[in-house]
A and B are shown apart, each in its own frame.
Chain A
Amino acid sequence: MFWRKKLTAKELEEKEKSYWAYVKRQFKKNKRALFSLYFVFFLGLIAIFADFLANDKPILASYKGTISSPVLKSYVVGLGLGKWPVHFQNVDWKKDVDFDWTVYPPIPYYPSNLDFECQYCSPTKEQQGKTMRFRHWLGTDDIGRDVTAGMIHGTRIAFMVGIVAMGLACIIGIFLGSFAGFFGDTEFKISRIRLILTLLGSFFAFFYGFFSRSYIIGDAILGSNLTFIIQMLISFGIFFGILALINLLLVPPLKKIPALGKRITVPLDLILTRMIEVIVSIPTLVLILAVVAIVEPSIMWVMIIIGLVGWTGIARFIRAELLRIRNLEYIEASTALGFSRFRAMMKHAIPNALSPVLIAIAFGVASAILTESLLSFLGIGVPTEVITWGKLLSLARTAPQAWWLAIFPGFAIFITVTLFNLIGEGLTDALDPRLKQ
């Protein structure tokens, strides 16, 4: 192994005694949770390689002597970095192009491929005119879309939603919760002028960062995801840039005036608790529906909204942990050694407060996937062409005799949610402080 640092025997022993090594060992003892984790990795692989597992383009193909990979090329085209050669544009890959030889993915259909010869094909009954290679193994829906392909690509969407939504919730939740929990209501002191200027400045920063750019951002949303991300980054850059300028340039000279430089306490904990109370008082689904009604349908907005609504749980957990940790001796020691409170929080307190956050993340991913399938089941927030598990399940409502539409996608949702719940439970047991020897 050339990439791992060789540890001495003593360092290995020390590593084994560390808290996270202990947690890993405890987790591995729980066979159910371990199995769930491996299965989740397996599903993750399916999600990553979905295009290679179910696609209407060949993985490898030889056309007039040149070997190429249309699947990989589709990634390049999708990013906007390349274009299809003329003979490949707008073709039906199976019928129109005369390949020398092809290697097709196991499921030779893309979820949005329509197959009018085989509408509402049942997986158990005979499918007209289909060889074993092209059989719809899990049936089709009312316009002939293959269910297996839909399930495979649905895995990708489900995982993306889970990870991105929880990632966003984590970032916001950990940031706000740790400041509120560690500094409480009494510790966060800043000079009066800094508070006033930052509050005023945030209005200006918001104005120049977002308001005057609102049309640019609005147009970028309709464009590709890449332009939207770039524009949002620019906006955030302007926002924080203005705040940084104010804090670095305007505040230091003005701080010297006694009346302005007076230190006042900002009750961070109180502010955060009130914010959480406002968000929590509105039933989650109602809040999500109200926000989703404003934006136009897109998976990206669904992810962002679930994240924006779900950060409260994580913030609460990390706040509670930090309220406990800030009174422990090693934090006191860090102050005695002269470290700033901020450094004590970032380097010492937060890493030790992450255990309940991990548990919340595991359950949170499960709940995010459930919420997204609920939204696509109701037909809200997700564009009509995108096939997710919830969308397939909703198709079963209009055609109750198509039992394969009811069973398989719902089963996928159920299994994924269960797996993450089991991982969460395994983490709870592994991290339980009472069982520590």
Chain B
Amino acid sequence: MLIYILKRILIFIPTLITISILIFMLSILAPGDPVEKMLGATPEGDPIPPVAYNAMRKELGMDLPTFYFSMSSKAYPDTLYRIPKQAHRENLARLIGEHGNWPEIDKYFKKSDLLFNSAYKIERDSLNGKALIKIKEFAELLLIRYRDRDIKRAFDKLKPQIESTPSTAALMPLYNETMQSYNNVTSNQSKWKNLVPAFIWYGKDNQYHRWASKFVVGDFGRSYQDKRPIADKIGDYLYWTVILTFISILMTYLIAVPLGVFSARMKDTTQDGVLTTILFILYSLPSFWIATLLITFLCQPDYLNWFPPYGIGEVGPDAGFFETIRIRGYHMILPLFCWTYASLAFLSRQMRGGMLSVLQQDYIRTARAKGLSEKKVIWKHAFRNSLLPIITLFANIFPRMIAGSIVIELIFTIPGMGRLLFEAIKYPDHPMVFTIVMLAAFLTMIGYLVADILYAVVDPRITYK
């Protein structure tokens, strides 16, 4: 048995590695530039000075390639990751796709970048105010547009603006060089390079390796959203999710198990029919609908104002223990209800199904014929054999604990793991997303292992050799 457990734990490792790569890729692909977000950039504001951008990029560790290797075409340089801005990188990639000649594109990019930055260095005076704005706008277009007609149009619009005032006319030579380099790009195309696959090896210096090696030692890094250490943040939010999940599971099992047994015994009576229908309906009700209905009807001054709709309640700093429980509990009744009723219905039905199939067995008939009391028959013999589906559901508890119930937490504004994860995905706060998902995956696998062990405990016929 012990060897089986050890073997299972060993198999965790490749699965966890695969999951980590999968989640890493998904998170990196999400749109949004965390460097800009952390520096507080807005689309309308001034662009961030390159020095600050690069510094932040290095601090976040994003100046490395994403993975150990990359598969792309011959046209791509192996150093594309060094270009700081994500928007620029993507545009360059598209330009490569169009024309295929990286050396020329590189020169063009450097020139247009120089042009753009030079426009910012020009002093504003009474004459060139309007022209400067337009120049900055069109020069930026050169950096983020790849279509031929868009670039040509930007050049055409730039020319009159540069020529309009003497201070901006100083940009003219640079403008000509940029235009020349673009013409080089279009005339010296090597599109064939796009069709030749190339394999680039980056070695250990890449984002994934850096993150993964820190993760296994327990250094989860800092969140992009507020720079707090992730372990602290998770600890805060985990508190509420664990409380809610724990109470919910306790209630579910305490109510559903006897209910299932009871309804199995009362099979074919009208009570059972009514109960089964109620449970079925409960099981099918979408939890977000019930939550919305409850908020609409039970939390409004217009209808019944029994419960507060949002949050977990304000508790003063010197509130007593019972008062804390009263306030928190009052706020938690509705979310707890929404969380519990669906699993309760499901668990009861599973219990009932399992019990029913066991009660048809011969040994139950023998037990009754032997003269055992009904209570002993049910609880001592039948119950233990119908536990298998219950244990399976138990395995799902751990991932639920981590993902929380995203919906319920969002609707009732409870600061739990589900909401944390949701905000992290939207931001996108990559380190947070990886950490939470990896923890969820790890706990899921532990859950399945625990379930398998419990199977063997409950049913001695099951052995793992």
Which residues of A are at the interface with B, using a C-beta cutoff of 8 A?
203-204, 207-208, 211-212, 214-215, 274, 277-278, 280-283, 285-286, 289-291, 293-294, 366, 370, 373-374, 377-378, 390, 393, 396-397, 400-401, 403, 406-407, 410-411, 413-414, 417-418, 421
The B402-445 residues at the A interface (CB cut-off 8 A) are 402-403, 406-407, 410-411, 421-422, 425-426, 428, 433, 436-437, 440-441, 444-445
Give, as a whole number of angstroms, the nearest-CB distance from B19 to chain A.
6
Contact partners of B437 in chain A: CB under 8 A: 282, 286, 290
CA distance A141 to B214 in the complex (A): 50
* Residue pair A393, B197 in contact (C-beta under 8 Å): no
Q: Does B254 contact A (CB under 8 A)?
A: no
Q: Taking the nearest CB of chain B, how far is it from the CB of A416, in angstroms? A: 10
Interface check B165, CB cutoff 8 A: no
6 tightest A-B CB contacts, nearest first:
A410-B289, A283-B403, A281-B441, A418-B284, A406-B296, A281-B444
Q: Which of A203, A289, A403 has the most CB of B within 10 A?
A: A289
Give Cα distance in the complex from A370 to B407, angstroms.
12
Given contacts A373-B288, A393-B288, 14 further A-B contacts (CB under 8 A): A280-B444, A281-B440, A282-B22, A283-B403, A283-B444, A285-B403, A286-B406, A286-B440, A294-B30, A374-B288, A377-B288, A401-B302, A406-B296, A410-B289
Q: How far is B445's CA from A278's CA once the two chains are assembled, in angstroms?
A: 10
Partner of B286, one of A207, A289, A290, A410: A410
User: Would you give the shortest CB distance from B234 to chain A, in whole angstroms?
Assistant: 15
Check if B26 sits within 8 Å of A291, measured CB to CB: yes
7 A/B residue pairs, CB under 8 Å, sorted by A: A208-B195, A282-B22, A283-B403, A294-B29, A390-B288, A400-B296, A411-B289
- Which residue from chain B places its CB closest to the CB of A274 in the assembled complex? B15
Q: Determine how close the nearest CB of chain A comes to the CB of B214; give it in whole angstroms.
A: 21
Contact B288 A204 (CB under 8 A): no
Are B286 and A204 within 8 A (Cβ)? no
Q: Is the CB of B197 within 8 A of A207?
A: yes
Q: How far is it, in angstroms, between the C-alpha of A291 and the C-alpha of B25 when the chains are bound?
A: 10
Residues of chain B with a CB closer than 8 A to A214's CB: 97
Could you tell me if A397 and B292 are in contact, using CB atoms closer than 8 angstroms?
A: yes
Task: Tell me which residues across on chain B come within 8 A of A366, comparing CB atoms.
Answer: 284
B286 and A373 contacting across the interface, CB-CB below 8 Å: yes
The minimal Cβ–Cβ distance linking B227 to chain A, given in whole angstroms, is: 22
Given A283-B399, A293-B428, A396 contacting B296 (CB threshold 8 A): yes
A406 vs B23: C-alpha distance in the bound complex, in angstroms? 35
**Given A396-B296, A413-B286, A211–B22 Cβ distance below 8 Å?**
no
- Minimal Cβ-Cβ distance residue in A for B285: A414
* Residues on the A chain within 8 Å of B425, using CB: 289-290, 293
Mark B residues whose CB is within 8 Å of A: 14-15, 18-19, 22-23, 26-27, 29-31, 71-73, 94, 97, 194-195, 197, 280-281, 283-286, 288-289, 292-293, 295-297, 299-300, 302, 309, 399-400, 402-403, 406-407, 410-411, 421-422, 425-426, 428, 433, 436-437, 440-441, 444-445
Chain A residues in 8 Å Cβ range of B299: 400
Contacts of A281 in B (CB 8 A): 15, 19, 399, 440-441, 444-445
Chain A residues, CB < 8 A from B410: 378
Instruction: For residue A421, give the distance in angstroms from its CB to the closest CB of chain B.
Output: 6
Residues in B neighbouring A374, C-beta threshold 8 A: 286, 288, 407
Residue of A nearest to B21 (CB): A278
Q: Which residues of B contact A293 (CB under 8 A)?
A: 30-31, 425-426, 428
Closest approach, in angstroms, between the C-beta of B131 and any C-beta of chain A? 34
| B295 contact from A207, A208, A397, A413, Cβ within 8 A | A397
Q: Report the Cα distance A410→B445, complex, angstroms.
A: 34
Contact between B194 and A212, CB atoms less than 8 A apart: yes
Chain B residues within 8 Å of A400, by CB: 295-296, 299-300, 309
Docked Cα-Cα span, A413 to B289, in Å, equals: 9
Q: How far is the CA of A289 from the CA of B295 in the complex (A)?
A: 25
- Residues of A contacting B284 in the complex (Cβ-Cβ under 8 angstroms): 366, 414, 417-418, 421
A289 and B422 contacting across the interface, CB-CB below 8 Å: yes
Quick check: B440 and A282 within 8 Å, CB to CB?
yes
- A204 CA / B197 CA spacing, docked (Å): 8
Q: Quick one: which of A212, A285, A290, A413 contacts B73, CB cutoff 8 A?
A: A212
User: Of all chain A residues, which has the CB nearest B302?
Assistant: A401
Complex interface: chain A residues within 8 A of B309 (CB): 400
Which residues of the partner chain A approach B281 to less than 8 Å between Cβ atoms? Answer: 418
Q: Cβ of B97: which chain A residues have Cβ within 8 Å of it?
A: 214-215
Q: Are B22 and A407 in contact (CB under 8 A)?
A: no
- A207 nearest CB across to chain B (Å): 5
Interface centre among A277, A374, A413 (most CB of B within 10 A): A277
Which residue of B71, B407, B440, B444 is within 8 Å of A211 (Cβ)? B71
Q: How far does the alpha carbon of A274 sit from the alpha carbon of B12 in the complex, in Å?
A: 10
**Roughly how many angstroms separate A400 CA and B293 CA in the complex, as a whole number?**
9
- Interchain CB contact under 8 A, A203 and B286: no
Q: Which residues of A contact B194 (CB under 8 A)?
A: 212
Instruction: Give chain A nearest CB distance to B429 CB in angstroms.
Output: 11
Residues in chain A near residue B19, CB distance under 8 A? 278, 281-282
Cα–Cα, bound, A129→B450 (Å):
65
- Check A278 against B18 for contact (C-beta < 8 Å): yes
B297 & A211 in contact (Cβ 8 Å cutoff)? no
A33 to chain B, nearest CB (A): 12
CB distance from B424 to the nearest CB of A (A): 10
* A285/B292 in contact, CB under 8 A: no
A414 contacts B26, C-beta separation under 8 Å: no
**Cβ of A283 and Cβ of B440 under 8 Å apart?**
yes
Task: Say whether A417 contacts B286, CB under 8 Å.
Answer: yes
**Closest chain A residue to B18 by CB distance?**
A278
Chain B min CB distance to A19 (Å): 23
Q: Which residue of B is nearest A412, CB measured?
A: B289
B293 touches A407 (CB 8 A): yes
Query: Is B286 within 8 A of A414, CB to CB?
Result: yes
Contact yes or no, A406 B73, CB < 8 A = no
Complex contact B15–A278 (CB within 8 A) = yes
Once the chains are docked, how many angstroms separate the CA of A381 from the CA of B72? Answer: 29
Contact indicator A370/B286 (Cβ below 8 Å): yes
Contacts of A278 in B (CB 8 A): 15, 18-19, 22
Write the chain A residue with the least CB distance to B284: A418
Contact indicator B30/A414 (Cβ below 8 Å):
no
Question: Are B73 and A282 touching (Cβ within 8 A)?
Answer: no
Q: A374-B288, A403-B297 are in contact. Are A285 and B406 (CB under 8 A)?
A: yes
Residue of A nearest to B297 (CB): A403
B292 partner, pick from A208, A396, A401, A418, beta carbons under 8 A: A396
Q: In the bound complex, do residue A203 and residue B71 qualify as a contact, i.e. CB atoms below 8 Å apart?
A: yes
A211 and B286 in contact, given A281-B15, A282-B437, A293-B428 (Cβ under 8 angstroms): no
A373 proximity list for chain B (CB < 8 A) = 286, 288
Residues of A within 8 A of B195 (CB): 208, 212
**A285 CA / B408 CA spacing, docked (Å):** 13
- Chain B neighbourhood of A291, CB < 8 A: 26
Nearest B residue to A390 via CB reads B288
Contact A378 B71 (CB under 8 A): no
Partner of B197, one of A203, A403, A407: A203
Cβ contacts under 8 Å, B426 to chain A: 293
Given A283-B403, A400-B295, A290:B197 Cβ within 8 A: no
In this complex, which of B22, B195, B284 has the most chain A Cβ atoms within 10 angstroms of its Cβ?
B284
Question: Across the interface, which residues of A come within 8 angstroms of B289, CB to CB?
Answer: 393, 406, 410-411, 413-414
Is there contact, CB below 8 Å, between A290 and B23? yes
